[in-house]
Amino acid sequence: MSKQPYQIDVADLTSQLETNDQTGLTAEQVQDRLAEYGPNALVAKKKKTLLQKFIDQFKDLMIGILLAAALVAAFTGEQTDAAFILAIVIINAVFGVFQESKAEGAIEALKALATPKARVIRDGRDQEVLATDLVSGDLVHLEAGDVVPADLRLASVANLQVEESTLTGESVPVEKTAAVLTGDNLPLGDQANLAFMNSNVTYGRATGVVTGTGMKTQVGLIAESLQSTDETKTPLQENLKQLGKILTYLILAIATLTFVVGYFTQNAKIIDLILTSISLAVAAIPEGLPAIVTVTLALGTARMAKKAALVRKLPAVETLGSTDIIGSDKTGTLTQNKMTVEKLVLDGQIIDLKQENPFEAEQVNPDLLKLADVLALNNDTKEIDDGLVGDPTETALIAFNQKYRPAYKDTLAKMPRVSEIPFDSERKLMTTIHPVDSAYEATVKGAPDSILARVSQVLDHGQIRPVTDADLAKYQEINAELADQALRVLAFAYKDLAAVPENPQADEIEKGLILVGLIAMIDPERPEVKGAVAEAKKAGIQPIMITGDHPKTAAAIAGRLGILTDEDDRDRAVMTGAQLDEMPEEEFKDRVKDVRVYARVAPAHKVKIVQAWQNKGKVVAMTGDGVNDAPALKTADIGVAMGITGTEVSKEAADMVLADDNFSTIVAAVKEGRKVFANIQKALQYLLASNLAEVIAIFMMTLLGWQVLAPVMILWINLVTDTLPAIALGLEPAQKGVMSQKPRGKTANFLSAGVGPAIIWQGTLQALIVLGVYGMALAFPEHQGYDLIHGDALTMAFMTLGLMQMFNAINVKSVYQSEFGPQAFANKFFNWALVFSLFAMMAVVFIKPLNPIFHVTYLDSHQWLTVVLAAFSIIVIVELVKWVQRHFYKKG
């Protein structure tokens, strides 16, 4: 087996790559390798053309049925009917293409190159080149603030620390080395002499040899493997697919039955029976449903975009509403991704900065001013226009000074660094030396245990006195207390020097120190997340924290956010990646329901967690920002990528991108998703109840030997009622208590929660009222002659059916609740849509030139009064039924 780059000496590696470890590649070598291997970039997934996107919109069973109906209508001479159907189908396809393109545009706006340029040695001189022009064998310089532009074998290292969370999930920077490593198949996190593309340099500097570019990097290998990861069908897609199958079978059965009954009972012409069957098929198909679902989802995505949630795939909007589990990263999503000083320890006392500002005291403790100076002096942070660059711990110290003591800049100007002893992991200390008056001062920071072992004096309210055993015991006790709270603690000390040694030695400088105090810091929770977690729990959603951090740190943040509570058994509620690897699959399936925090886990564990919950029938949303998160994002029912810190690979794999990387945005999107599902359910109830009424009415008319509603009549009713009023239902505000209900679960569908029975009885009721109006018109004719009698009766039935469907749109706003509360007419778009549709429906009778097109007659005032009263009766009857259901069956 060939050796991995981390197992090879740099000299041997440069020889293999035919490069020079001093002068780098020549321009000719670079051009040859670029021509052979291509640019240093991930191969982008080929985007669909507008035509391909348009064609994809027709790959739906419901659309197929509509197209078949249009084809039959066209062949049987009903050109108007065919045109109506095709127009609805095309409008739906255009909506779909528009939203998909709009979502892609939003994602493209978020994209930015990880590192547009890189510093290299070529032809023996330093150059700055485009990162995409890097090739294997290039010598690359790195320093704090850089994004690693390719996979590198480090050749020389000076205190280099690299944050590799995008690949490993570990938020703590990794200390790097140039030494050869042994061992086969080391995890990426242990390959300490390599730097990986898209990771971030937080401290130090280095030079490395490029070993892999583009798709040959670790990032590229994972991106390539994603092509084989199957995407999960959303609940909405499954529901619509199932509904399409059911409607297909019903349409075929009803059309066939009507044809057979008509043929044997009425001896009608074949062409008339075909037209009647087409009428039934058109009546049974909710033509507007695909467009209404698309519009409702698109409106939902627009509202989500305003709340920083960018939806890439329309069905994901509704999926959010059915979410049972939200698996969330800690750093940056639940927390601020910014180490922050929370507590100070001076003179043996803890000062909580969340409770008080010690700099605003009437008399500021001089020890506090000295501590602030040492924090600033013993620091490698770079201040640039965009903020602070450097190790997260050190930037937190400068941020503390910026907030509480801006005068630290005067101290930096007066006391420039003249020498230093860099930090190393054995001493756990860093020392800097600065001029002060006619002498010098050494400032020291590091682990409390290391500092306390080297102090001989302590600063006490501006006075220096010998340190006592009691002092040391007190500080050690406080250090342990703060560590138990998952705070990262650093100690600070200083020492006066008469001169600067030519070669400062730690053993000489770092002893006999004067202790100043301690600081305690943490990456704090986002202030709005605690409320979002509480809201999610109230909604029956279980938030889960997944992080590469230490279990104690993760548990502390989870406790502060309410993800972990005092009632939780910490031994069962917190699990590490090592425990997860060791646990048998069956045991984990049982245990997963108790785990609230996963610590020290790699992103690869996320897939296992997602699948365990999915096997329990739960709908899982999973967040991620790293390359290794991408498989989990695709496996989850809804993958949520980070817009700010997320890699392009994770964004491509996700269904939704958070523009603000904020957990509370997910919860807000869940609320929107629940509203979207409820509104689609209302529209579906409205459409299917209307279509059922049409089917029953036409079938009974056929059996009774009456004239049947023509296809153009049915299409006009559906066009008028299925467009504006149904779309307006998609704009209904969220119902009261939408986030106090439990998730509906995977087994629920659009016909659950009483919607199915409501469709049946309301659709049947409408058909009976229509048949009653037709029968009454025949029984009490105002005109003589068969054609006139049946023409008026058919027109009255036609108008009753159309107007009644629109009145029923008011009823479907709730399955059980009355529609005449304070918010009855809050949806202004719905109010105007109803008014417009009512006038459009009546226009075909009032405007005489339209009468022959729609096969209607002109009605007198008595006939209109009958039609209007019959149509309005649906509101009265449904309100009475709802009242009975609420009071006798205790329905919500």
329 tagged catalytic: yes
> Tokens at residue 866, please?
């009958």
Identified catalytic residue from 329, 373, 380, 661: 329
**pLDDT tens-digit series, residues 150-206:** 999 999 888 888 888 767 756 568 888 888 888 877 777 788 899 998 788 887 889
CA–CA separation, 845 vs 799, rounded Å?
9
Helices 711-721, 663-704: crossing angle, 10 deg rounding: 160
Average pLDDT over residues 209-216: 88
- Helix, strand or coil for residue 781? coil
Over 50: is that where the pLDDT of 426 sits?
A: yes
Collapsing DSSP states into helix, strand and coil, what is residue 367?
Answer: helix
d(CA 638, CA 313): 10
Q: Could you give the angle at the alpha carbon of 394 between the alpha carbons of 393 and 399, nearest 5°? A: 100
Round to whole Å and give the CA distance between 444 and 720.
Answer: 79
Contact 243, 235 (CB under 8 A): no
- Please name the residues in contact with 90: beta carbons below 8 A apart, sequence gap of 6 or more: none
Which residue did the predictor score with more confidence, 256 or 869? 869
pLDDT of residue 477: 94
Q: Is residue 108 predicted with pLDDT exceeding 60?
A: no
Handedness of CA 538, 539, 541, 543 (dihedral sign): negative
pLDDT at position 764 is 92
119 backbone dihedrals φ, ψ, rounded to 5° = -100, 120
Q: Would you call 314 helix, strand, or coil by DSSP?
A: coil
pLDDT at 892: 40
> Which DSSP letter does residue 607 get?
H
Q: Report pLDDT for 1.
A: 46
CA distances in angstroms from 445 to 80, 376, 507, 516, listed in the order given: 84, 11, 15, 10
Return the minimum-mean-pLDDT range out of 118-127, 410-419, 651-660: 651-660
Specify whether the CB–CB gap between 627 and 289 falls below 8 A.
no
Residue predicted with more confidence, 793 or 495: 495
- HSE, CB side, 13 Å, CA atoms: give it for residue 383: 11
Above 80 in pLDDT, residue 752?
no
What span, in angstroms and rounded, lies between the C-alpha atoms of 730 and 723? 11
Terminal CA-to-CA distance of the chain, rounded, Å? 67
Encode pLDDT of 831-866 as tens digits: 898 899 899 889 988 988 888 877 788 888 888 999
Residues 6+ apart with CB under 8 A from 634: 226, 229, 230, 231, 232, 653
Residue range 522-549: average pLDDT?
88
Tens digits of residue pLDDT in 670-706: 888 888 888 888 888 888 888 888 888 888 887 787 8
Quick one: average pLDDT of 772-785?
Answer: 74
pLDDT score for 271? 65
CA-nearest of 255, 232, 285, 81 to 653 is 232
pLDDT averaged over every residue in the chain: 82
Output 300 or 766, whichever has higher pLDDT: 766
Tokens of 123: 């032809």
- Closest to 300 measured CA to CA, from 555, 850, 671: 671
Q: Which of the two residues, 64 and 461, has the higher pLDDT score? A: 461
- Cα separation, 677 vs 769, in Å, equals 30
Reduced 3-state DSSP string for 514-570? EEEEEEEEECCECCCHHHHHHHHHHCCCEEEEECCCCHHHHHHHHHHHCCCCCCCCH
What span, in angstroms and rounded, lies between the C-alpha atoms of 883 and 866? 26
More confident residue, 644 or 176: 176
> What is the rounded distance in angstroms from the CA atom of residue 819 to the CA atom of residue 825?
9
Q: Is the pLDDT assigned to residue 60 strictly greater than 80?
A: no
Per-residue pLDDT for 226 more than 50? yes
- The SS3 assignment for 51 reads helix
Q: Does 716 score more than 50 pLDDT?
A: yes
Q: What pLDDT is stored for residue 627 in this prediction?
A: 67
855's torsion region: left (phi>0), alpha (psi -120 to 50) or beta?
left
Q: How confident is the model at residue 349, as a pLDDT?
A: 93
pLDDT (0 to 100) of residue 109: 43
Indicate the residue type of 710.
Answer: A
- Could you give the CA distance from residue 446 to residue 428 in angstroms, rounded to a whole number? 6
Mean pLDDT of 530-558: 87
Residues 6+ apart with CB under 8 A from 770: 693, 697, 797, 800, 801, 804, 870
Question: Which tokens is 760 given?
Answer: 């049946």
- Indicate if the pLDDT at residue 112 is higher than 50: no
pLDDT above 50 for 106: no
Q: Does the pLDDT at position 302 exceed 60? A: yes
More confident: 252 or 794: 794
For residue 752, count other CB atoms closer than 10 A to its CB.
Answer: 13
Q: Could you report the per-residue pLDDT of 387-422, keeping only the tens digit for each?
A: 788 888 899 999 999 999 999 999 999 999 999 998
Confidence band, pLDDT 50/70/90 cuts, at residue 78: low
By mean pLDDT, which of 33-47, 365-379, 766-780 is the weakest? 33-47
In this structure, which amino acid lies at residue 251? Answer: I
Q: What is the mean pLDDT of residues 608-615?
A: 90
All structural domains of the chain, each given as residue ranges with its CATH number in brackets, are 235-310+668-888 (1.20.1110.10), 318-336+526-664 (3.40.50.1000), 340-522 (3.40.1110.10)
